[in-house]
Structure 1
């Protein structure tokens, strides 16, 4: 694998329609299980100091537990106020039952 791919979790550790927080390469990352896919973002909201893994995942949107702003976990895009800045996303690879994140 080219890039900065680091093993983040086993695929089985990421429940469908849920989010888990992991530390990958010293970074706090949120991993989301949605429609059979896995997505990764920074785990800290860009609006307040809240961990996204403590939020509510509905479809492709994670709701921050602090002020209820939502991000699209596929793109990091802001979906509603009070958020103004997108959250960083990371590429994912799944090989041999393990999830790898490219921290780039």
Structure 2
């Protein structure tokens, strides 16, 4: 089944060299504020707002495969979005990414 048939689209958001230089790039895609993250050679796309109290995760830090919220001690596993054990919050929403010709795209659902 192709992307249009399931209501999703791949949207280009930034160049790979920019992400490698900045580690966290803030993007606005299909009405959503998102982050693209360079995590030790892996690319991750996620919501920009912390699901705990909506803090701007774009101001956070990436360390050892986790994204740390700038407001709390909470962090999220960049493999699956899981929050630090013991915090009453849903996981961080992650989005599929792909790289084509050094350009990063994020797959998002279309209304």
SS state at 1:5 partner: strand
Q: What displacement does 1:83 show? A: 4.9
Q: What displacement does 1:37 show? A: 1.7
Q: Which residue of 1 aligns with 2:93?
A: 88
Task: Measure the CA separation in 2 of the matches of 1:15 and 1:83.
Answer: 32
Q: Which runs of 5+ in 2 are unaligned?
A: none
Residue range with higher mean Cα deviation, 77-86 or 5-14: 77-86
Query: Alpha carbons of 1:101 and 1:45: their partners in 2 closer, same or farther (altered >3 Å)?
Result: same
Q: Which residue of 2 aligns with 1:6?
A: 11
**Larger Rg: 1 or 2?**
2
Normalised by the length of structure 1, the TM-score is: 0.88
Q: Which 4+ runs in 1 deviate beyond 3 A?
A: 80-83
Over the aligned positions, Cα root-mean-square deviation in angstroms equals 1.9
Q: Which residue of 2 aligns with 1:67?
A: 72
Q: 69, 74, 77: which one pairs with 2:82?
A: 77
